């Protein structure tokens, strides 16, 4: 059995009610290396300073209470081993601070209600079942549908994804990764009667699903593999491809233009993307009045980028293309994906096999893949 060893924790302390500025406090604790950051904080609290504030309950990565940032990354304090955190600590001191994008109540405790829960409530986080015609007994749902929502259902509402979402930092009104994943859980549930309304609402909201910038941060942050960004992409596919929702934020047009440019050139052409997103998905798009307006408004940014050498004038105007043979490979990928009779949704969350050997546990929707 491993012996206890010394670890130094650097905790961010802050009490907004005191009027004092935040500060760092260091404590050296002694624990076996496999023990958690939460164990370390609780020991520091018991041995050195009872006023350290941390929220926790289950200590088993189930309740979602102990979200913090460890060495600058969001995660669960009870689910992060001291030895692993030490490996990531640049100066040998494990740094723990409160999650981001939410106001601090005290020390490591943030106000989840002010941000996270408010956004969850925003997406109507319950099933809206039909009022008439309910089955006499239980509502039978086909297995494939439930497999599809399993990943979103694994969320424990810890807020780690919200903490470091880059879009939320830029736009605090963005619905955010956790709430979007929750929305997908009901949009994909065949018992819900509000799927179209939910999708339209989230597509038309300027702070809705098209506000995500695909930074992947929420995927890295989530301790439960919910991959909120993937749920947002699924919401977009359902909104645009399945229901033809062309939103007023140009989200659907932007994605269509993006895909067309990559298909035709093998690479993105930024200068074409903007006018096509507003004026229509063709070379003529730039002559549409809406495209003209947005091009004019982007001139200061483009000029700055040119002056700073971030963009070469020739590339800015004409863009770049892959060689013809490479473009053919890209186009073949498009042909394969678009030629499928049904869209494939990859549910990479579930794994394993049924005990009775009848197939993969949580057999994925037809054509889906489990790993
Ligand atoms: S991928 Fe989207 S939702 Fe996820 S953290 Fe980035 S911006 Fe936020
Ligand atoms: S999606 Fe993941 S990171 Fe976000 S709240 Fe749920 S469990 Fe936490
Ligand atoms: S204490 Fe429950 S998830 Fe950490």
To which H or E segment does residue 241 belong?
A: none
Alpha-carbon gap, residue 153 to 53, rounded angstroms: 29
Does domain 5-110 fall into CATH 3.10.20.30?
Answer: yes
Pocket residues: Cβ below 6 A from ligand 2 = 155-161, 177-178, 181, 221-222, 224, 226, 228
Alpha-carbon gap, residue 48 to 50, rounded angstroms: 7
Edge-to-edge strands, sheet with 94-97: 23-31, 5-13, 94-97, 67-70, 73-76
pLDDT at 296: 87
State in Å: Cα 67 to ligand 3 middle: 8
Per-domain boundaries in the chain: 5-110, 113-242, 251-338
φ/ψ region of 358 (left if φ > 0, alpha if ψ in -120 to 50, else beta) reads: alpha
Q: Which atom of ligand 2 is nearest to the CA of 158?
A: 8
Q: Which of 200, 168, 160, 187 is nearest to 74 (CA)?
A: 160
State in Å: Cα 90 to ligand 2 middle: 26
φ/ψ region of 323 (left if φ > 0, alpha if ψ in -120 to 50, else beta) reads: beta
Alpha-carbon gap, residue 83 to 37, rounded angstroms: 9
State in Å: Cα 232 to ligand 1 middle: 9
* CB distance 217 to ligand 1 below 6 Å: yes
Supply the angle between the helices 177-187 and 195-204 in degrees, to the nearest 10: 150
State in Å: Cα 82 to ligand 3 middle: 15
Alpha-carbon gap, residue 254 to 238, rounded angstroms: 16
Distance (Å) of CA 79 to CA 9, 93, 219: 16, 18, 16
Q: Which atom of ligand 2 is nearest to the CA of 67?
A: 8
Nearest CA to ligand 1 atom 5: 165
Nearest CA to ligand 2 atom 7: 155
Distance (Å) of CA 52 to CA 93, 109, 283, 308: 18, 10, 60, 47
Mean pLDDT by 10 residues, the chain (371 residues): 94 96 98 98 98 97 98 97 96 97 98 98 95 82 88 97 97 98 96 96 97 96 96 96 93 94 93 89 85 86 86 82 96 94 78 50 38 29
Domain 113-242 classification at class level: mainly alpha
pLDDT at 172: 97
Question: Would the pTM count as exceeding 0.75?
Answer: yes
């Amino acid at each position: 059995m491993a012996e206890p060893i010394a670890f130094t924790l650097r905790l961010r302390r802050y009490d907004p009610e005191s009027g004092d500025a935040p500060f760092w406090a260091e404590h050296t604790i002694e624990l076996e290396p496999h023990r958690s950051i939460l164990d370390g904080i609780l020991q520091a609290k018991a041995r050195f300073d009872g006023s350290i504030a941390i929220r926790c309950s289950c200590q088993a990565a189930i309740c979602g209470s102990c979200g913090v940032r460890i060495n600058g990354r969001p995660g669960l304090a009870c689910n992060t081993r001291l030895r692993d955190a030490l490996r990531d600590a640049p100066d040998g001191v494990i740094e723990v601070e409160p999650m981001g994008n939410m106001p601090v109540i005290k020390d490591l405790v943030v106000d989840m209600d002010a941000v996270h829960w408010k956004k969850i409530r925003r997406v109507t986080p319950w099933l809206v079942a039909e009022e008439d015609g309910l089955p006499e007994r239980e509502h039978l749902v086909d297995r494939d549908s439930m497999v599809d929502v399993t990943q979103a259902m694994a969320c424990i509402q810890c807020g780690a994804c919200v903490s470091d979402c880059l879009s939320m930092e830029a736009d605090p009104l963005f619905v955010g990764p956790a709430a979007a994943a929750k929305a997908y859980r009901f949009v994909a549930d065949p018992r819900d009667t509000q799927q179209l309304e939910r999708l339209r609402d989230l597509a038309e909201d300027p702070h809705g699903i098209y506000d995500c910038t695909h930074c992947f941060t929420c995927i890295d942050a989530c301790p439960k593999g919910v991959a909120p960004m993937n749920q947002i992409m699924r919401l977009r596919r359902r909104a645009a491809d399945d229901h033809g929702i062309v939103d007023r934020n140009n989200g659907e047009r932007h994605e269509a233009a993006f895909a067309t440019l990559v298909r035709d050139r093998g690479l993105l052409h930024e200068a074409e993307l903007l006018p096509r997103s507003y004026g229509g998905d063709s070379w003529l798009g730039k002559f549409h009045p809406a495209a003209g307006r947005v091009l004019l408004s982007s001139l200061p940014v483009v000029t700055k980028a040119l002056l700073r050498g971030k963009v070469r004038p020739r590339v800015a105007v004409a863009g770049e293309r892959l060689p013809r043979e490479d473009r053919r490979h890209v186009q073949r990928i498009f042909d394969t994906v678009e030629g499928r009779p049904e869209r494939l949704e990859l549910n990479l969350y579930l794994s394993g096999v049924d005990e009775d050997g009848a197939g993969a546990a949580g057999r994925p929707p037809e054509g889906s893949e489990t790993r």
